[in-house]
Amino acid sequence: MSPVERQAIEWECARLIALYANLNDAHRWEDVVALYHPDGMMTRPTAPEAEIRGHEAILAAFRARPPRTTRHFCSNVVIDVEDAEHARGESAILLFTGSGAPLVGSFHDRFVATERGWRFLERRGSLTFQP
């Protein structure tokens, strides 16, 4: 793999992280779910042991969330390319809501190349500081 190909994968995966945050804040649940592989899995930072797997379950989890205003900030994004179809990533997250203290945590991601582009295969959230 050339350095340019590696950089392109890193960029695509980092873009997924930012797009996920923006779509989440806009409550565009169907678009958030489309960022996952059909067999993708997520855990929320507030419930890191509760795996939610597959498009239908992920969409249901987002729709079940009570309405709230949020703003996610992602930083310290590091993507490690494993091969032309697999990558891993880590990022820090800061979440502000309309009420309560900000939440600080991280995501550990696994990415996979699909015919629709790079997608989350796994997105595991955790909190660094408990509320």
Is the torsion defined by CA of 83, 86, 92, 96 positive or negative?
positive
- Asked if pLDDT for residue 40 goes beyond 80, the answer is yes
- pLDDT for residue 112 is more than 90: yes
pLDDT for position 98: 81
pLDDT band at 12 (very low <50, low <70, confident <90, very high): very high
123 touches 109 (CB < 8 A): yes
pLDDT at 129 over 90: no
Q: What is the CATH number of the domain that holds 42?
A: 3.10.450.50
The whole-number average pLDDT for the span 6-35 is 97
Residue 118 has pLDDT above 70, yes or no: yes
Residue 14 pLDDT: 98
Q: Is the pTM value of this prediction over 0.95? A: no
Q: For the chain, what is the domain count?
A: 1
Using the predicted structure, report yes or no on whether residue 123 has a pLDDT greater than 70.
yes
Lookup: tokens for 46: 């507030």
pLDDT tens digits, 65-74: 888 899 999 9
Bridge-based pairing state of the strands 36-44 and 117-129:
parallel
pLDDT of residue 131: 66
Domain extent, residue 81, equals 3-129
Place of tokens 């992280």: 17
- Are the C-beta atoms of 59 and 29 separated by less than 8 Å? yes
User: Residue 74, Cα to own-chain centre: how many angstroms?
Assistant: 10
